[in-house]
Amino acid sequence: MSNGQIVVSDLTKRYKNVTAVDHLSFVVEPGRVTGFLGPNGAGKTTTLRMILNLVTPTSGSATISGLRYSDAPEPLRLAGAILEASAAHKGRTARNHLRIVAAAAGLPDAQVDKMLELVGLTPAAKRKFRGYSLGMKQRLGIAQAMLGDPQVLILDEPANGLDPEGIRWMRGLLKGLAQQGRTVLVSSHLLSEMEVLADDVVIIAAGRLVTQGPVEQIVGGGTSAPRTRVRTPNLTELVTAVRTAGATIQPNGNDSHVITGLDAPAVGRLALQGGIELHELVNERPDLEHVFLELTQGKAAIR
Ligand code: ADP
C-alpha cells in the first residue's frame, strides 16, 4: 500500500562546473503541504527532477512511497507533477489535450471532465489553448497532474504568473488536497506565500539542506530576541519600565511601539506592576522571510 512519503537520501547531482545538489536528504510526509524553499540556483528544480527520474543523480536516491518513480507500475497514479506551466498544442482545446494524455495513460475520459471541474476550467474546456492566459495554463497543468488521482503532487513554482485571486485559489486547492491525505510538495522562492500555504518547509541553499520542519517551529525557532508591539497612553512610564528591565523600545508608526527583548507576557507583567495602561499588546512573530535570510546568509551567493 502506498504511504505517500517522499524520501530523498544523500542525493547529489554534479554538472561539469557546478554541484547543483550536494548530499541532500529530507522526508516529505503525506497529509501536509511541504514548501521547498531556496534562493534561485539553490537546486530545487534539479532535486524535483531527480525525484521524478527526469534527471539522473550522480549519487544517492529518491523514492516516492518506497519506489523509484521510474519503477512505478502506474506512475500517474503514484505522483502527478507540474514542472513548468503546461504546454499543449496551440490549436487544441483543454479537454482534447487532457483526453490525449488520459488515453495514453489508460485513464477514462470521465476523469478529464472531473479534473477540469476541479480546477475551474469547465467553462473554458472547449476553448483553444492558444487563447489561454498563464493562470489558465497553470490550472490546466494541475488538471493534468491530477488526472491519475495521484497520492503525491509535486509542483515547481506553481504561483509564478498567477494574479492574487489565482494564488488564493491555488492555496485553497493545495490545502484541500493535503487534507484528503495526499502529499503536496511545492517549490517556491516566494516566502510570504509559503508561510500561509505550507505546513512544513524544507529550506536549501547551494544544493545543501539548511533546515526542515514545521513552519511554526522554524519561524518560532529563530535566534532573534522576542519582539512585542504595544500601544499605551502612558508612554513615558512604559519606556522607563522597559529600559529598567534591560530591553529596548522604538516607535513603530501609528502610535505604536516595538519592544525588543521582552515577550508579550513579560511586557504585560511590567505594565501591571507599574500601573501602566495598555491599549495593545501583541507578540511580533519573526516572519519566514527574516528566518530564511538569517539561515541562508552567505549561502545564497549567485553561482
Ligand atoms: P533552482 O531551481 O533552485 O533555481 P536549479 O536546480 O535550477 O536551482 O539549479 C541549481 C544549479 O545547477 C544552478 O547553478 C544551475 O545553473 C545548475 N544547473 C541546473 N541544471 C543544469 C544543467 N543541465 N547543466 C549545468 N548546470 C545546471
Q: Is residue 114 part of a domain?
A: yes
Q: What is the DSSP letter of 108?
A: -
20 close to ligand 1 (CB < 6 Angstrom): yes
- Residues 34, 165, single domain; the answer is yes
Residue 287 CA, ligand 1 centroid: distance in Å:
28
- Global pTM reads 0.81
Q: Which of 15, 16, 186, 292 maximizes ligand 1 atoms within 8 Å of its Cβ, making it the mutation to test the pocket?
A: 15
Q: Binning pLDDT at 50, 70 and 90, where does residue 136 land?
A: confident
Residue 193 CA, ligand 1 centroid: distance in Å:
23
Q: Please give the pLDDT value at position 85.
A: 59
Residue 75 CA, ligand 1 centroid: distance in Å:
25
Q: Is residue 258 part of a domain?
A: yes
- Residues 204, 245, single domain; the answer is no
Distance CA 97, CA 137 (A): 12
pLDDT digits (tens, 9 = 90+) for 140-185: 889 999 999 999 999 998 887 788 888 888 999 999 999 999 999 9
Residue 190 CA, ligand 1 centroid: distance in Å:
18
Domain range for 24 is: 6-220
Say if CB 232 and CB 279 are below 8 A apart: yes
Distance CA 98, CA 189 (A): 29
Q: Which of 58, 77, 88 minimizes the C-alpha distance to 4?
A: 77
Which residue's CA is the closest to the ligand 1 atom numbered 26?
15
- Residues 248, 213, single domain; the answer is no
pLDDT digits (tens, 9 = 90+) for 274-296: 999 999 999 887 677 777 777 77
Q: Which of 8, 14, 17, 18 maximizes ligand 1 atoms within 8 Å of its Cβ, making it the mutation to test the pocket?
A: 18
Say if CB 89 and CB 129 are below 8 A apart: yes
| H or E, element range at 227 | strand 227-231
- Residues 26, 129, single domain; the answer is yes
- Least confident range from 48-52, 58-62, 283-287: namely 283-287
CATH number reported for the structural domain that contains residue 238 in this entry:
3.30.70
Q: Is residue 266 part of a domain?
A: yes
Q: Is residue 293 part of a domain?
A: no
- Residues 104, 249, single domain; the answer is no
- Residues 153, 212, single domain; the answer is yes
Q: Is residue 116 part of a domain?
A: yes
Residue 43 CA, ligand 1 centroid: distance in Å:
6
Q: Is residue 138 part of a domain?
A: yes
Number of domains in the chain: 2
Which residue has better confidence, 114 or 191?
Answer: 114
Distance CA 154, CA 173 (A): 13
- Residues 159, 266, single domain; the answer is no
**Domain closes at, from 220, 239, 254:** 220
- Residues 172, 269, single domain; the answer is no
Helices (H), the chain: 44-51, 75-78, 94-104, 109-118, 134-146, 164-179, 191-197, 215-220, 235-244, 264-273, 288-296
CATH number reported for the structural domain that contains residue 14 in this entry:
3.40.50.300
- Residues 163, 234, single domain; the answer is no
Q: Is residue 172 part of a domain?
A: yes
Rounded to an integer, the average pLDDT of 48-67 is 95
Rounded to an integer, the average pLDDT of 238-246 is 96
Q: Binning pLDDT at 50, 70 and 90, where does residue 55 land?
A: very high
Q: Is residue 239 part of a domain?
A: yes
